[in-house]
Amino acid sequence: MAQSALRIFSYLPNPRVWKALIAAELCGVHVEVCGDEPRRLPEWLWDFEARPLEEEERSASSPHARVGKRGFTQTLYKTDAFLVAHPYGTVPAAFSPGGAIGVFESNSILRAVARAAASDHGLYGRDGYQASRIDSFLDATLVFAREAQVYLLALRQMTPELHRRMQDALEFYLDGIERALGDAPFLAGDAISLADIAFVCDLAQFLNERRARGLLEEAGLGIATEGEPNAHPRAFEHLFRLAETPAFAKHLGGYLDHARSELAR
Ligand SMILES: N[C@@H](CCC(=O)N[C@@H](CS)C(=O)NCC(=O)O)C(=O)O
C-alpha cells in the first residue's frame, strides 16, 4: 500500500477531516485516518500512535489525563508528545509520516494535503498570489467557523447576544462568498481550490444548527440560517452543487439532505 502523506487522528465522522480527505481525493494523495465516534474519543490515547485505552489505563492519576477544553467536558488522555506536536491539544490532529511534525487546524491540514501532491493540480493556486488569495478565503472561513463552533456548543444555553453575534458573523461571511461567486464560478477563480473545500465543509457543519430549531424556539429565538438561501443564492447553489460532485459526495454522503430538503421549500 502507498505510504500515507499524513496521518489524521480525530473523532469521526468530522467535516473538518473531510476537508483533507476531499483534497486528497482531488490531488491523488494518500491520507490515513484513525479515530472513533465523538463520545468514544475520551477513551482513546491521543498520540501519533493513537489507540483505545484499557479501562484500567483511564484514571485521574494517569500521566496523560487532561481537562477537555473545547467541545469535550470529560477527562481526555493526551500524551506529552501529542501536546508537543499539537500545542492546542485539538483534533483533527495531523502528523507527518513518522509523527515528527504535527499539523493542527483543519485548514492547515488541508493545505498540507495539497502540498504533498506529486503533480500540480492547481488546488492551492498556480502562483504565490493565487495561493495567498486562497489563504484569504481560508482565513475568512476559519473566523466564521470559530463563531459557529462557539454558537453550536452553546445551543442548549443560547442567549440573544450570542445568537445576534452568530447572525452577524454568518451574514458577513456569506456576503463575501456571494460577492466572490458573482465574478467567478469558484471562490478563488475559474477552478476549484482549497477555498471551496473549506467553505463547503464548514458551512455544511453549521447547517446542523437547523436540527436544533426546537431548542432555539424554546429560548424564544429562531435559526440563524432562516431566510437562506434567498439572501445568498449563489453561495447555497455552490454548496449544494459541489456537495454532489464525487469527491465531496464520497465523504458528505447524505449529510446535507436535511438542509437541502428544508432549504428548497
Ligand atoms: N479550528 C479548529 C477546531 C478544532 C477544535 O476546536 N477541536 C476540538 C473539538 S471540536 C478539540 O479537539 N477539543 C479538545 C479539547 O477539548 O481538549 C480546526 O478547524 O481544526
Ranking 43-47, 65-69, 130-134, 261-265 by mean pLDDT, the lowest is 261-265
Assign 1 a pLDDT band (cuts: 50, 70, 90): low
Burial of 39 (0-12, 13-18, 19+ CB in 10 A): exposed
Q: CATH second-level architecture of 6-116?
A: 3-Layer(aba) Sandwich (3.40)
Q: What pLDDT sits at residue 63?
A: 97
Which among 123, 113, 119, 121 is positioned nearest to 32, based on CA atoms? 113
Instruction: Give the sheet arrangement for strand 65-67, strand by strand.
Output: 51-52, 44-46, 75-78, 65-67
Q: What SS3 state is found at 14?
A: coil
Q: What pLDDT sits at residue 227?
A: 87
Numbered ranges of CATH 3.40.30.10 in the chain: 6-116
Residue 174 has pLDDT above 70, yes or no: yes
* Cα 75 to middle of ligand 1, angstroms: 15
Q: Report pLDDT digits (tens) over 180-231.
A: 999 899 999 999 999 999 999 999 999 999 999 999 999 999 999 988 889 9
Q: Which three cell numbers stand for residue 84?
A: 508537543
| Residue bearing the CA closest to ligand 1, atom 3 | 105
Q: What pLDDT sits at residue 9?
A: 98
Numbered ranges of CATH 1.20.1050.10 in the chain: 128-263
Q: CATH second-level architecture of 128-263?
A: Up-down Bundle (1.20)
> Ligand 1 pocket by C-beta < 6 Å: which residues?
16, 68-72, 76, 89-92, 105-106
Q: Given the CA of residue 146, which atom of ligand 1 is nearest to it?
A: 1
pTM for the full model?
Answer: 0.97
The average confidence (pLDDT) of the chain is 96
Q: Given the CA of residue 67, which atom of ligand 1 is nearest to it?
A: 17
* Cα 40 to middle of ligand 1, angstroms: 15
* Cα 233 to middle of ligand 1, angstroms: 30
Q: Report pLDDT digits (tens) over 30-73.
A: 999 999 999 999 999 999 999 999 999 999 999 999 999 999 99
Q: Which three cell numbers stand for residue 88?
A: 492546542
Q: What pLDDT sits at residue 22?
A: 98
Q: CA geometry: angle at 109 spanning 108 and 113, to 5°?
A: 115
Assign 262 a pLDDT band (cuts: 50, 70, 90): confident
* Cα 63 to middle of ligand 1, angstroms: 21
